[in-house]
Structure 1
Amino acid sequence: MTTVDSPRPGRHLPLAGTHNVRDVGGYRTRDGGTIRWQTLLRADGLSRLDAEGQARLAGIGLRTVIDLREQEERDGAPEPFTGEVPVLRWFPVFDGNMPADGGLELARVYERMVDECGARLTAAVRALAEPDALPALVHCTAGKDRTGVVIALALSVAGVAHEDIAADYALTSVHLGGAFLEEVRRKYAGLGLPQGFDELVIACPPELILATLDRVTTAHGSVENFLLAHGATTEELAALRTALVEPVEAKGKRT
């Protein structure tokens, strides 16, 4: 049975200029711990984040922003941050070869990510494990696909059940659509977009991220082995778990 929290005040951060900024805290781990709140955030594009939104992120101590977009996406929508903090890290998942998927096969895009882009996905996870990297925010353009995979890998390393990771992934559908979808339609108006494009933009069925994690574990035995095979170290993964997870004994001391 899933242990995922329901959407609650505090999980979604309604920041002006964004649609899908979420805290992934509160999920339980297999050893009884809990992912710390205000430690790992996931988001869509941040280019229109205003001063108030930046101040709110600064208020939770945001130290690192990890951008998974390609160069052309960054050129059209640059990061809004100008100071030394947060530190901006850039890991373009497709490294200049972003799919121009005429067939709109989202499952194939995810397969390609884990089959061909493992080193860049791993680099993003490793960045989260660096000393003083957290609190951190991981984002792409929609905060759905590339962000969804990196967050899934990080939460899996931390010990969150795959079913709970999938439920968190599916929450994106609550926040995309509406204004976000209208923005996408306006941006691509007149390009003769294929049938089904709207659904692709906001699609995030939980079985898709479950299939992705299954693909990783089938090929490598575990998510940890996948990351180790692409450059991570056991020390980095242990450090990430320690930084993300509030252990059960710590929770007991507060009660």
Structure 2
Amino acid sequence: MTIGRKDTLITSRSAAQQRMVPMQGVSNCRDLGGYTGKDGRLVKWGMLYRSAELSELSEQDIKQLHAIGIRTICDLRDRDEISAMPTPALSAVTNINIPLIPADNGPVVRQAYDLGDTNKRAHLDRFGPPDQLLVHLNQAMIQSTQALQAIFKLLLQDHSTPFLFHCTAGKDRTGLIAALILMALGVSKETIMQDYLLTNQYLDTAKIAAKSRSTMQAQADVPEEIMQDIMKAVMEARPEYLNAALDQMLEQYEDIEHYLTQAIGLSAEEIVKLQNKLLS
């Protein structure tokens, strides 16, 4: 089954670097423009941005966001994450919170910081190997159809772009939204996976690891070697994570068009509108 069309993949580090938005207090911030979409049209530069959380924006970073014209920030995190790492108020920018993880999903490890929560760590064994934590999370997010609909409706609004969406690390929740938007635009699955894996180049994992470990200093219930495996699994972008979501979506709905229309509830006209808005 084909998702989009086969196009030129990211073949060099320098090509990937062109996507990066230089920021002092934020890592993994990049432009989704330039990819080949439906009918050979390119995703417009300067319209879609993905990033990690924005709580440590510097004055220069804020100037940068204003310079690229960000109008809407879509925060995919839960309330406790926002309370711990709030995004500063930005003038002329609408910041909307649309949590992506189902509320009834039970304790989940959303990102490395959650490993400091004893209650969440108590559930690690039920998932088996550490990488299954993220497989489970990605599969669960596919079921958040109301949240996904709200995100697409927000993006479709007039004057919503340039549009920046993010979670904590800008990896799984952000990666899924990037994948769904790009698939709706006709970008190939191969290219989407390449974009997803760029997180491994640009996420400041050392900073995240340091923050995470600082919350676990008083905890000694997880052996160090096991915690290292878990931290590595949680902080990396791995093909099997995104594929877990996409494979489940295709198993249930056959193709991206059916998922967008039947699960998320977008009309064919809205999909065309999105393509006309974001493709050159």
What is the TM-score when the length of structure 1 is the normalising length?
0.87
| Aligned-pair CA distance for 1:179 | 2.9
CA distance in 1, matches of 2:252, 2:199: 27
Aligned to 1:226: 259
Call closer, same or farther: CA 1:184–1:12 in 2, change over 3 Å. Answer: farther
| Aligned-pair CA distance for 1:60 | 1.2
| Aligned-pair CA distance for 1:188 | 3.5
**Equivalent residues in 2 for 1:168-179, closer than 5 Å:** 168-176=195-203, 177-179=205-207
2:181 is the alignment partner of 1:181: no
2:188 is the alignment partner of 1:154: no
Match of 1:57 among 62, 65, 78: 65
Aligned residue pair count? 244
Match of 1:110 among 138, 142, 156: 138
CA distance in 2, matches of 1:231, 1:132: 22
C-alpha contact (below 8 Å) 1:170/1:206 kept by paired residues: yes
For structure 1, the residue ranges without an aligned partner over 5 or more in a row are: 247-255
C-alpha contact (below 8 Å) 1:64/1:136 kept by paired residues: yes
| Aligned-pair CA distance for 1:235 | 2.5
For structure 2, the residue ranges without an aligned partner over 5 or more in a row are: 1-5, 109-119
C-alpha contact (below 8 Å) 2:7/2:36 kept by paired residues: no
Aligned to 1:27: 35
Match of 1:45 among 39, 53, 74: 53
Partner SS, residue 149 of structure 2: helix
Partner SS, residue 89 of structure 1: strand
**Equivalent residues in 2 for 1:76-91, closer than 5 Å:** 76-83=84-91, 85-91=92-98
C-alpha contact (below 8 Å) 2:102/2:141 kept by paired residues: no
Moved more, 183-192 or 73-82: 183-192
Moved more, 93-102 or 61-70: 93-102
Partner SS, residue 177 of structure 2: helix
Aligned to 1:253: none
C-alpha contact (below 8 Å) 1:20/1:175 kept by paired residues: yes
* Aligned sequence identity (%): 30
Match of 2:278 among 231, 244, 252: 244
CA distance in 1, matches of 2:214, 2:7: 38
CA distance in 2, matches of 1:148, 1:40: 13
CA distance in 1, matches of 2:37, 2:261: 21
CA distance in 1, matches of 2:176, 2:147: 11
C-alpha contact (below 8 Å) 1:43/1:140 kept by paired residues: yes
Aligned to 1:210: 243
Q: Residue by residue, what CA displacement relative to the aligned partner does 1:175-203 show, whole Å, maximum 9, x if unpaired?
A: 23233333332244333455322112222
Match of 1:66 among 64, 74, 96: 74
